[in-house]
């Protein structure tokens, strides 16, 4: 899903594990493709063309690149007689697949004044018609396993870019002096805040990684054993109010709280608060997809880097959980939460746990930084072919985040899902949950 300049991360999207053909591929294909275009509906052609920073891509590019994925990996090699919409697109909308060939430089995606938005939408229709013809002529269950897996990967890839569209649009609109809203209504309702508590998890030998017949990216495999010492994990994410206490205690001015590289980032970039925050009359305000609003002290903090999450945890006399601890603590929870479909497009205030001893808001609201480097699980093998570039080549210099966010499609997340970003990335809905040794 996402993209970063160091790794094209979401772009650095991950490769898929072989998935069985689904009898509902055509319905799912339509739903995912329509959902992407619905996200672009509130935007003008000009909104869709601008690139606000190297890490972010224009919406028009996202619309074309997700289409390029189906054309390049499904239709061109597996649909006899398929006519490419425009051969030049093979380069223009290639993100990072070196085995496909040349690619347009990522920081210059905003210079692609042509094709225009209407032509990109025509590209989407062209590919959709060919995909529907393919799916209608061949019952989904009869599709070759390789083709079915590529279609499945393409759908999950497109869902990753749906989240990127929202985070990239948020950054784009934040740079406009009038701070325009992507979505004007504010659907959030006040919720009585809950008090976090520590949850004890005993020592033991566990298994993490994907299990079962459903889809997963290759980086979630193979499932393997891990030994965990006893630990405690917070029932809720860290809130804006918690983070304001860190700021007020001089958190951004105390080098002893920071990793060396984190302190370098703080001083070089002048960080004084999470991204999108401004202070007026002693009140913190944050830019959201609904425009600028006062910071809700009871909502999970977001738009912080790994460095800030790590420094906060040190200040709080705690630490970040490892990704194995996070997965074991959440593996039995329902995959429910504040996802993209809620329409909130912002983290919601702390809510009650479903039962004593369970984590609240582990899924949705904010991606939670872990202290784990993004690396291969023991025995990891990238997917075969060009899509093997999806994940494995980005396993260096990044950290794992878990749980999905308010911009993640609900059907996209799993307890074993491994998101990853460089430690200085702040434009995703990234927050944290504390842990500590028992």
Count of residues engaged in binding Fe ion, rule: CB under 5 A: 3
Q: Give the interface segment with Fe ion, choosing from 13-21, 182-190, 207-215, 225-233 (CB under 5 A).
A: 13-21
Q: Please give the span between the terminal C-alpha atoms of the chain, in angstroms, as a whole number.
A: 35
Stretches 3-11, 49-57, 292-300, 387-395: which one binds Fe ion (CB under 5 A)? 3-11
Closest of 40, 64, 66 to residue 155, by C-alpha: 66
Complete DSSP assignment for 55-75:
TS--HHHHHHHHHHHHIIIII
How near is the Cβ of 64 to Fe ion at its closest, in Å? Answer: 11
For the window 78-117, what string marks contact with Fe ion as x by the rule CB under 5 A? -----------------x----------------------
- Cβ 261 to Fe ion shortest distance, Å: 27
Q: Which of 345, 311, 312, 305 is nearest to 426 (CA)?
A: 305
Q: Of the two residues 155 and 238, which places its CB atom closer to Fe ion in the complex?
A: 155
Residue 178 burial by Cβ neighbours in a 10 Å radius (0-12, 13-18, 19+)? exposed
Residues 321-350 that bind Fe ion (CB under 5 A): none
Q: How far is the CB of 335 from Fe ion (least distance, A)?
A: 23
Nearer to Fe ion, 308 or 389 (CB): 389
**Bridge partners, 373 (sequence order):** 399
Nearer to Fe ion, 68 or 243 (CB): 68
Complex with Fe ion: residue 11 or 168, whichever CB lies closer? 11
Which residue, 13 or 232, is less far from Fe ion as judged by CB?
13
411-426 burial string, b = 16+ CB within 10 Å, else e?
bbbbbbbbbbbbbbbb
Nearer to Fe ion, 11 or 368 (CB): 11
Contact 184, 58 (CB under 8 A): no
CB burial of 237-256 (b: ≥16 within 10 Å; e: otherwise) equals bbbbebbbebbeeebbeeee
Interface with Fe ion, residue 11, by CB under 5 A: yes
> Which stretch, 5-13, 252-260, 312-320, 399-407, contacts Fe ion (CB under 5 A)?
5-13
Q: Are strands 367-373 and 430-431 parallel, antiparallel or unpaired?
A: parallel
Which residues make up the interface to Fe ion (CB under 5 A)? 11, 13, 95
């Amino acid at each position: 899903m996402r993209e970063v300049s160091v790794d094209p991360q979401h772009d650095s999207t991950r490769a898929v594990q072989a998935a069985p053909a689904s009898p509902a591929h055509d319905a799912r294909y339509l739903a995912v493709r329509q959902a992407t275009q619905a996200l672009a509906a509130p935007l003008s052609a000009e909104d869709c063309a601008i690139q606000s920073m190297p890490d972010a891509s224009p919406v028009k590019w996202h619309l074309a690149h997700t289409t390029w994925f189906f054309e390049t990996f499904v239709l061109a090699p597996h649909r006899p007689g398929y006519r490419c919409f425009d051969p030049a697109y093979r380069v223009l909308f290639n993100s990072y697949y070196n085995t496909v060939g040349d690619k347009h430089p990522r920081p210059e995606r905003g210079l692609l004044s042509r094709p225009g938005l209407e032509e990109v939408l025509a590209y989407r229709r062209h590919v959709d018609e060919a995909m529907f013809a393919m799916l209608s002529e061949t019952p989904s269950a009869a599709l070759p396993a390789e083709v079915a897996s590529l279609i499945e990967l393409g759908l999950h890839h497109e869902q990753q870019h749906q989240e990127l569209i929202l985070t990239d649009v948020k950054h784009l609109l934040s740079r406009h002096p009038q701070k325009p809203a992507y979505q004007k209504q504010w659907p959030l309702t006040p919720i009585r805040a809950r008090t976090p508590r520590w949850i004890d998890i005993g020592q033991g030998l566990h298994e993490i990684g994907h299990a079962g017949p459903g889809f997963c990216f290759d980086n979630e495999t193979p499932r393997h054993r891990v030994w965990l010492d006893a630990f405690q994990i917070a029932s809720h994410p860290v809130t804006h109010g918690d983070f304001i206490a860190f700021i007020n205690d001089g958190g951004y001015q105390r080098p002893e709280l920071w990793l060396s590289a984190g302190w370098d980032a703080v001083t070089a970039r002048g960080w004084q608060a999470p991204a999108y925050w401004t202070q007026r009359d002693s009140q913190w305000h944050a830019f959201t997809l609904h425009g600028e609003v006062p910071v809700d002290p009871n909502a999970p903090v977001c738009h912080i880097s790994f460095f800030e999450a790590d420094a906060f945890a040190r200040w709080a006399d705690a630490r970040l959980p490892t990704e194995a601890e996070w997965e074991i603590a959440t593996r039995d929870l329902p995959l429910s939460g504040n996802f993209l479909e809620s329409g909130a497009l912002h983290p919601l205030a702390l809510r009650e746990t479903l039962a004593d001893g369970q984590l609240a808001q582990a899924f949705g609201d904010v991606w939670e930084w872990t202290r784990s480097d993004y690396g291969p699980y023991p025995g990891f093998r990238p997917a075969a072919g060009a899509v093997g570039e999806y994940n494995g080549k980005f396993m260096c210099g990044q950290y794992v985040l878990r749980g999905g966010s308010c911009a993640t499609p609900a059907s996209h997340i799993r307890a074993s899902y491994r998101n990853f970003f460089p430690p200085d990335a702040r434009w995703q809905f990234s927050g944290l949950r504390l842990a500590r040794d028992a």
